[in-house]
Amino acid sequence: MSDRISLGVLTSVCPPEVIDDVLTECGRVERRNRLLPARVVVYYVLALALFSNCSYEEVMRKLVAGLECGVSALSRSGLF
């Protein structure tokens, strides 16, 4: 297995709607906005299982690696 995975890869395998349905079914829907939303925590736990030989920090870096590139490439005009 490759050591590169991103949030995009996980969301293609487990769509956000499925994660939200599971969180709702388990009674774990957020009542407040959090720094780390429940959906992101689920993806993080999935990534932890895939990379059990890595540290927590390294798994998070792998998970958000694609986001850093995409976010830095966006401009204000690209958002509106």
> Would you state the pLDDT for residue 35?
83
**Quick one: pLDDT at residue 78?**
39
CB 66 within 8 A of CB 7: yes
What is the pTM (predicted TM-score) of this model? 0.72
Structure confidence at residue 64 (pLDDT): 81
Q: CA triplet 44, 50, 55: central angle to 5 degrees?
A: 70
> pLDDT tens-digit profile of 47-62?
999 889 999 999 888 8
- Position with higher pLDDT, 4 vs 42: 42
